[in-house]
Structure 1
Amino acid sequence: MNARERMLARLRCAAPTMVSPEEIDRIDERIDSHYDGRRDMLPAAARTTSALVDAMQAALTASHAEVFRTTAQAWPTLIAQRLEQANVERLLVDPSSKEGAALRRALPSSIEPRAYDQTIEAWKSELFETIDAGFTVARSGIASTGTLVLVPDAGSPRTASLVPPLHVAVVYANSLHADLHAAMRAERWASNMPTNLVLVSGPSKTSDIQQTLAYGAHGPRELWVAIVEGEGDAKPLANGEQA
């Protein structure tokens, strides 16, 4: 047998480990206790939504993303103006979402909004060669790592955040979580896991070739994130509470 066959044979012969539901509950409790303890050590001021926005902005900026702190009224015009300044001509945007509709209304005539309303086979060349930017709305964000949590659907599939050279995203300040554990628990991923989740923590980058950092090798070269803030962002959050 070659190395692959030997490895697979060992895996097939290994006895499966049986874990009781009670043991799983105990493990979950230990994990919850660990992360709750870490968050309890933080001062109350560090657990407000405003503090989470600060942390989200700092982490994203450190990952070479461009971050705008804005409001529900101002963000469509802000993004439209920045897209125009960046000479974007075609924007992939879901017109069926309220955010997509708001952005389309704010776009200047020089920018053509395109909906993902065809199969990938029907417009693959056009999609990869002519779409300048893709727009998405994050379900939530993870402040400690500057991570956007995207739940793709038919109108805004993974392609919107992976194919165009510029990814533009909106995330609401009151959807931010302190860390991955808080996000998983508050959004009940264990019992209500979406079919597909995309976690975005900056523009695409790699250092596979000669240890030289390069952007855009496997996805967008640029990431813009508009954090939409509003009233009540100074409320301290209890452990596991969704912002």
Structure 2
Amino acid sequence: MSARDNILKRLRERTDGPLTAPDSDFGVVTGRGWSAEERLERFERWISSVHGEVLHTTRDSWTTDLVALLQAKGIRRLALGREHPVAAEARAALAEGEVTLIDADRDVEEWQLEQFETTDAGLTSTRGGIAETGSLWLWPTPDEPRLISLVPPIHIAVLDADTIEDTFFDVIEAHGWAGGMPTNALLVSGPSKTADIEQTLAYGVHGPRELIVLVRHAEERP
């Protein structure tokens, strides 16, 4: 009998009965009760505090703002998916422009050098945001693989304002993460950053140096 088996046997044969899991109180990680306006304000404040950039737009005009953003940032080569509505709308808006659209739904080996050497930015959808930490959460798919948010120097993420929730726990519960997850669920709370032993903070060393969030509202904000 192995050491592991011995330990499990002793646990099963405890004289005071089998172990039971203690009751869990999740109140500390949920129940914030914030309004939609408070969630948005908290999300923007926290993600901006770590050098994330937030631009407000609408569902009707976001692609116009995307075109202006690409021009302002000098982005000429953009990686994006094909099937997701965000990618499809972006492709339609950029079809006649000067930006080269790079297909992301390919085997990584086919465009590995392209990703690391000549891609200016990656555009992704998001599944939602987390107000408490100023985080985005992404659900990578073959159409939008995780590398388009992790490799290019600029990550442009499209977030619908009404998908921001209070806490990470609320996201897990509301969207049934326990019932099925992709191989990678991504939490993004700002551009890539690291610090050396002298605590000098540097951006973009291990991933995007810029994170730009296009927050889409149903209509123009007052």
The TM-score bracket by the shorter chain reads 0.7 to 0.9
CA contact (8 A) 1:91 1:112 kept: yes
Higher-helix-fraction structure: 1
Aligned to 2:217: 229
Aligned to 1:218: 206
CA contact (8 A) 1:84 1:110 kept: no
* Correspondent of 1:102 among 85, 89, 108: 89
CA contact (8 A) 2:105 2:145 kept: no
CA contact (8 A) 2:30 2:166 kept: no
2:28 is the alignment partner of 1:34? yes
Identity of aligned residues (%): 38
Aligned to 2:100: 112
TM-score (ref. length: structure 1): 0.79
Aligned-residue offset at 1:193: 3.0
Equivalent runs, 1:1-243 vs 2, <5 Å:
15=7, 23=21, 26-27=23-24, 30-31=25-26, 33-36=27-30, 39=32, 47-107=34-94, 109-230=97-218
CA contact (8 A) 2:105 2:144 kept: no
Aligned-residue offset at 1:117: 3.5
Q: RMSD of aligned C-alpha atoms?
A: 2.5
Structure 2 gaps of 5+ residues are 13-17
**Alignment partners' CA distance in 2, 1:55 and 1:171:** 15
Partner amino acid, structure 2, of 1:76: T
Residues 208-232 of structure 1: CA deviation (Å, up to 9, x unaligned): 343210000110000000111226x
**Alignment partners' CA distance in 2, 1:103 and 1:14:** 60
Higher-strand-fraction structure: 2
Structure 2 counterpart SS, 1:136: strand
Indicate how the Cα distance of structure 1 residues 193 and 126 shifts in structure 2: closer, same or farther if over 3 A, else same.
closer
Residues 179-228 of structure 1: CA deviation (Å, up to 9, x unaligned): 11111111122223333201000000000343210000110000000111
CA contact (8 A) 1:77 1:103 kept: no
Aligned-residue offset at 1:162: 0.4
Partner amino acid, structure 1, of 2:51: H
**Alignment partners' CA distance in 1, 2:80 and 2:211:** 15
**Alignment partners' CA distance in 1, 2:30 and 2:198:** 41
Partner amino acid, structure 1, of 2:126: A
CA contact (8 A) 2:77 2:119 kept: yes
